[in-house]
């Protein structure tokens, strides 16, 4: 009798959890840029799986012009860049017991061996990695400690040097992580995606005024490293034949986004077109460090492999 009772309880609990999760999905349509208007969504990152683009963002909760209040990260998906689904909050900075800052800085997720690894940064405690069976989460801290800390940023002496991870799995299966504020660093990851392999190295790009937000991607066999440059930030980029460089500086890719001092980009191919995903302060007048929103515009390569400057639009992509 007890067993039947327990089974019924378990069944009811499972059904109510599924209904609760389903209930908390939120569907919305993008109407130009910014694409999300019910929340502030800075620091976008994205990957494509099948016919779905998965968008991972931070979450600004500050008042305009206040300092950054960022407690969690968010996940959205779309199959057409117009109709979007938001999932229940999949990861909070408080899920990382080692974090002392309470600030959920920029992050990027990537899939390997059937699991999803979400590399997050905090405002001073370092870079961590969370793992999930599903792109939408829920995610949990994979190692219970930071993957990288400011101590790994050997050429920097400011506390927020260890932020903004960007990941790539190269065609030979080697995973790499790039990151850094003020200086850009990179390292190999082991196949398990939760340990650094070999030394941390510094990446220098002649002619660049590197600030933060590296994004590494590959196009036609070449490596493209885009990053926030100067302050207020533009996005610049450099190209290399090998992942470790040398990278040749190619100049500005995107101008200062409206009403935001930071610029943070993701570059992805989706359904045979390339997209530039970034944030601006377009949802609030009078300036904003802390009310940033994700935008998407098209990205075009020239025949010589350079990238045309991004045209930021309020129409966005259809």
Q: Active-site residues: which are they?
A: 43, 212
Query: Which is nearer to ligand FUB, 69 or 248 (by Cβ)?
Result: 69
Contact letters for ligand FUB, residues 126-145 (x by CB under 6 A): --------------------
C-alpha–C-alpha distance, residues 156 and 149, integer Å: 11
DSSP class per residue in 2-48: HHHHHHHHHHHHHHHHHHHHHHT-EEEE--SSSS--SSB--S-EEEE
- Distance, in Å, from the CA atom of 135 to the CA atom of 116, rounded to the nearest integer, reads 6
Burial class (CB in 10 A: 0-12, 13-18, 19+), 277: buried
CB of 209 to ligand FUB, least distance (A): 15
Residue 68 vs 248, nearer CB to ligand FUB: 68
58 binds ligand FUB (CB under 6 A): yes
Residue for token pair 């992050």: 107
Say how far apart CA 288 and CA 268 lie, in whole Å: 26
- Least gap, CB of 241 to ligand FUB (angstroms): 27
Q: Is 115 within 8 Å of 133 (Cβ atoms)?
A: yes
For residues 105 and 139, which CB has a smaller minimum distance to ligand FUB in the complex? Answer: 105
Choose, by CB under 6 A, the member of 164, 183, 229, 297 that binds ligand FUB.
164
Q: Measured from the CB atom, is 162 or 189 closer to ligand FUB?
A: 162
- Which of 227, 217, 240, 147 has the alpha carbon at shortest distance from 183? 227
Beta carbon of residue 159, minimum distance to ligand FUB (angstroms, whole number):
13
Is 212 among the residues that bind ligand FUB (CB under 6 A)? yes
- Asked if 266 interacts with ligand FUB (CB under 6 A), we say no
Examine residue 213 and tell whether it contacts ligand FUB (CB under 6 A). Answer: yes
Q: Is 183 in the site for ligand FUB (CB under 6 A)?
A: no
Q: Which of 289, 287, 307 is nearest to 299 (CA)?
A: 307
93 binds ligand FUB (CB under 6 A): no
Q: Is 235 in the site for ligand FUB (CB under 6 A)?
A: no
Q: The tokens of 239 are what?
A: 């190209």
Task: Please give the residue ranges that form the binding site for ligand FUB (CB under 6 A).
Answer: 42-43, 58, 68, 105-106, 121, 163-164, 212-213, 262, 264
């Amino acid at each position: 009798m007890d067993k039947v009772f327990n089974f019924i309880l378990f069944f009811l609990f499972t059904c109510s959890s599924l209904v609760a999760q389903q209930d908390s999905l939120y569907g919305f349509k993008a109407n130009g840029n910014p694409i999300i208007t019910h929340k502030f969504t800075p620091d976008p990152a994205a990957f494509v799986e099948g016919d779905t683009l998965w968008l991972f963002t931070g979450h600004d909760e500050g008042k305009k012009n206040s300092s950054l209040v960022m407690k969690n990260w968010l996940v959205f998906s779309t199959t057409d860049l117009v109709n979007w689904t938001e999932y229940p909050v999949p990861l909070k900075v408080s899920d990382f017991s080692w974090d002392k800052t309470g600030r959920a800085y920029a992050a990027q997720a990537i899939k390997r061996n059937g699991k999803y690894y979400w590399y997050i940064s905090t405002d001073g405690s370092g870079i961590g990695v969370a793992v999930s069976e599903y792109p939408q989460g829920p995610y949990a801290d994979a190692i219970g400690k930071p993957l990288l800390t400011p101590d790994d940023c050997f050429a920097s002496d400011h506390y927020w040097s260890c932020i903004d991870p960007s990941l790539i799995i190269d065609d030979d299966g080697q995973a790499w992580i790039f990151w850094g504020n003020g200086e850009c660093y990179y390292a190999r990851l082991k196949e398990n995606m939760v340990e650094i392999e070999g030394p941390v190295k510094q990446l220098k790009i002649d002619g660049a005024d590197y600030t933060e937000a590296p994004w590494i991607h590959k196009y036609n066999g070449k490596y493209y490293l885009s990053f926030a440059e100067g302050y207020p930030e533009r996005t610049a980029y450099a190209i290399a034949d090998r992942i470790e460089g040398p990278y040749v500086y190619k100049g500005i890719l995107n101008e200062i986004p409206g009403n935001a001092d930071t610029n943070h980009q993701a570059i992805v191919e989706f359904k045979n077109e390339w997209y530039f995903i970034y944030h601006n302060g377009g949802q609030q007048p009078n300036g904003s460090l802390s009310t940033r929103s994700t935008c998407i515009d098209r990205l075009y390569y020239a025949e010589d492999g350079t990238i045309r400057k991004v045209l930021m639009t309020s129409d966005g992509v259809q």
